[in-house]
Amino acid sequence: MRPDEDAARDMPVSIRPFLFLGGTYTSGLTPAEVGAGGAIGQDSDYYGYSAHAGLVGSRVWRRSALYVDYRANYSRYSRRYRQRGVDQFLTLGYSTDLTRRTTLYLTQHGGSYSRNLGIGGYLAGAAGFGGGGGVGFGFSDPTVALGPEYELFDNRVYFLSSGADLTFQKSARLSLNGGGSAFLVQRRAPGLADAQGYTARGDASWLLSRRQSVSLYYGYMGFDFRQSFGSTRAHTVGLGFTRRLSRRWTGSVSGGLYRLDASLVARVRLDPLVAAILGQSTGLEVYEGSSYGSLFHGTLRARFRHSALSLMGERRLLPGNGVYLTSRTDRVTATYSLSGRTRWSLSAMAGYFRVSPAVQTAPPMQGYHAGVSSGYRLASSLHLTGGYSVRRYENQRFRRWSSVAHAGLAFSPGPMPLSSPW
């Protein structure tokens, strides 16, 4: 499956650096700690300044293409914040035509951060590059391995993911793709589970006409958890359909089924008679079981001269956030961007999600997130930028509300106005 054409057109046409200096305000920082009363603590507001720097863009040659997105952030607040350090994020994508009909795609993702910025959404935005980003993968998107999503706490997290796909254009209508990826997530918090795993995938796509295609997909995922002594394995199969509705609009939909096999160590309450003999009320039990479910993915995209709109809804399996292990995640998101028409640029997004544990006995978690950022070009390479985002996570026993606002000056060469880089 070739890369998503709409996502490829959204990429910058050159690689350029950027630098941002400004003020920042953060509320609702939540460390992975429990207070003296047994309640999860939540820090108060923080004010300070921040500096961001990075490199973003793409370079295209005759037979290959390179995409890079590197961002580093340092913030200093009015009072000391326990999770200090530099947050860094890197996405690399490379494709090359091995032969006239065969293309190799390589992707690399990694980073470290201590503030929950909804980083999964940022990585998904870069996933349009390469074989793993095509709409043909839909409901079982390999980006599950890119990094942590929906983290509950602001603790230091490290993540790394590598992927490769090989696409063979057998004929003008039929293309075949196979690939795999491996990932690692480590959380610097004693009570949260680290995760590591891999994915393997393959799909066949048939072009029905110039405007529409169908695809058949199979995928395999394996997640292993440290600190929790468990693992899950999943097989997925499904069908996908893509149609270019008009010159500006493109839609895709896919759906399928999965089988999930789990092996976990769980703490259970003992029978009163056994508890009286052993002198303890709980014990450890190995759980092994299988479950079945459905997955789906749908997108609707519009590309205009100076703006773009994207709507997405999906259900997929994720390796969890350290508290919830393998989970079924339902979410809908909407994004809009405007640039190039005047000195102003604007981007906005909003989304809702629901995370349901696939093997644990725990209440589901739900929430929403929204944000807006804007930039005004003061000179050819100097921009005034600002942004605000808000998030809310909750279940029956836990609720979290947090927000981030920042404003400042950004430097980036190039004619396009620059919105907030973070």
Q: Return the CATH number at 49.
A: 2.40.160
In a domain, 420, yes or no: no
* pLDDT number for residue 7: 46
Tens digits of residue pLDDT in 83-103: 567 889 898 999 999 999 999
287 burial class (0-12, 13-18, 19+ CB within 10 angstroms)? middle
Beta bridge partners of 18: 54
Domain residues for the domain of 380 are: 5-411
HSE value, Cβ hemisphere, 13 Å, CA-based, for 117: 19
Q: What is the number of helices (H) and of strands (E) in the chain?
A: 3, 18
* pLDDT number for residue 35: 65
Q: What is the dihedral sign for C-alpha 392, 393, 395, 400?
A: negative
Tens digits of residue pLDDT in 1-29: 444 444 444 444 588 898 999 998 988 87
Quick one: which of 175, 230, 165, 174 has its CA closest to 200?
A: 165
Beta bridge partners of 333: 312, 351
Q: How many domains does the chain have?
A: 1
In a domain, 160, yes or no: yes
Distance CA 63, CA 96 (A): 6
In a domain, 254, yes or no: yes
* pLDDT number for residue 228: 65
Q: What is the dihedral sign for C-alpha 401, 407, 412, 416?
A: positive
In a domain, 36, yes or no: yes
Phi then psi for residue 75, to 5 deg, are -125, 140
In a domain, 422, yes or no: no
* pLDDT number for residue 217: 93
184 burial class (0-12, 13-18, 19+ CB within 10 angstroms)? middle
* pLDDT number for residue 135: 30
* pLDDT number for residue 207: 94
* pLDDT number for residue 129: 40
**What average pLDDT does the structure give for the chain?**
82
Question: Can you list the positions of beta strands (E) in 227-343?
Answer: 230-244, 249-269, 282-303, 307-318, 327-338
In a domain, 416, yes or no: no
* pLDDT number for residue 4: 44
In a domain, 248, yes or no: yes
pLDDT, mean of each 10-residue run, the chain (422 residues):
44 77 87 68 77 90 92 82 76 93 93 67 38 35 56 87 94 94 89 89 94 94 82 94 94 94 76 73 75 93 92 91 88 90 87 89 89 89 91 84 90 63 43
In a domain, 152, yes or no: yes
DSSP state letter for 291: E
